[in-house]
Amino acid sequence: MARLGIASEVTQVRVAVTQAEPKWLDLQGSVDKTCALIGEAAKGGAKLLAFPECWVTGYPAWIWARPVDTHLTSRYIKNCMRADGPEMARIQQCAADNDITIVLGFSENFHNTLYISQAIIDSDGKLLALRRKIKATHMERTIFGDASGDALTSVVDTKVGRVGALSCWEHIQPLLKYYLYSHREQIHVAAWPPLHPYKDEKELWSMSREGARALSQTYAIESQAFVLHATAVISEQGISLMNTEGGAVMSTPGGGSSAIFGPDGRILTEDMPQCEEGILYATLDLDEILRCKSFVDKWKLLSKLHRMNIMKELDHTMPQGVNER
């Protein structure tokens, strides 16, 4: 269980978030690129670097166009990373060599069962947290498994403060978010796949670049934490490799929309073009969290745990069968 109530001595921290294209279905290439970005971010002065959802070894975009593709899926399984494997060890060593904390999104292979996972690696290379997405979203369930309760350990003390993480549409889960809020995050990593601008009413706005950004920005306001909104990029080469042209998502080049939000929701970075790869930086003043909490501390003033007893009362008023399986 993550420790509670430990105040960081750090007040200023330079952070970074990637906007880059994964090395699709290529584990070794993914690790090479990860280490290159870690080195680049460290040279840029960053002490914390955030990666997007399934950065290693890329988000399996074909599932939204073609849920049954045994060739690509088997290749994907073989190229997904083990949490205890040599590739993860190499990334941990790279973090230590560059004195930088990493929040890494990756497709985890656990005995050939896959999970959408995030690792929080401290600047000494120690793996502080390994969490899995609680429930895969929609078509993701054709490939990825569900997490167990230990995935709730998502907020940990690092050299740069209390850092937590969630993946993609976990940011629509009120109770899951509330759990992280109660652990008093200072910096949150919101990991997403490539996200494209909204086009028309045929699409769900909530699945667009704008919808996902709204969720990350709302998380910043609600949690009063800094949020690193990490997204990936997909190119024509990636589309061709996964044959996603004409699919529901990730069917055109682009998808990059990385950003950093302050604890009051304001954006602290300038956008890069959606097809461009790079790293966004910001220097965070953690005392800004106190300034936001001085106006309203959601945890202290508005959400006392004893008020959640209302859930027990509501449980008695639910229609018959609602809680039955």
Which residues belong to the active site? Answer: 53
Instruction: Name 8's Cβ contacts closer than 8 Å, sequence gap at least 6.
Output: 157, 160, 161, 162, 186, 286
List alpha helices for 190-259, DSSP H: 209-223, 236-242
C-alpha atoms less than 13 angstroms from C-alpha of 193 in its C-beta half-sphere: 23
What's the CA gap between 173 and 256, in Å, rounded? Answer: 24
Sign of the alpha-carbon torsion through 161, 152, 17, 259: negative
Q: What is the CA radius of gyration of the chain?
A: 19
Tokens for 47? 């002490």
Q: Are the C-beta atoms of 53 and 168 separated by less than 8 Å?
A: yes
Tokens for 19? 């906007």
Q: Please give the C-alpha separations between residue 11 and each of 25, 58, 160, 189, in angstroms, as whole numbers.
A: 39, 34, 9, 18
What's the CA gap between 169 and 190, in Å, rounded? Answer: 9
Which residue type occupies 323? Answer: N
The full length of the chain comes to: 325
Tokens for 170? 């976990």
H/E segment holding residue 78? helix 70-79
Q: Please give the C-alpha separations between residue 114 and each of 133, 260, 316, in angstroms, as whole numbers.
A: 11, 29, 38
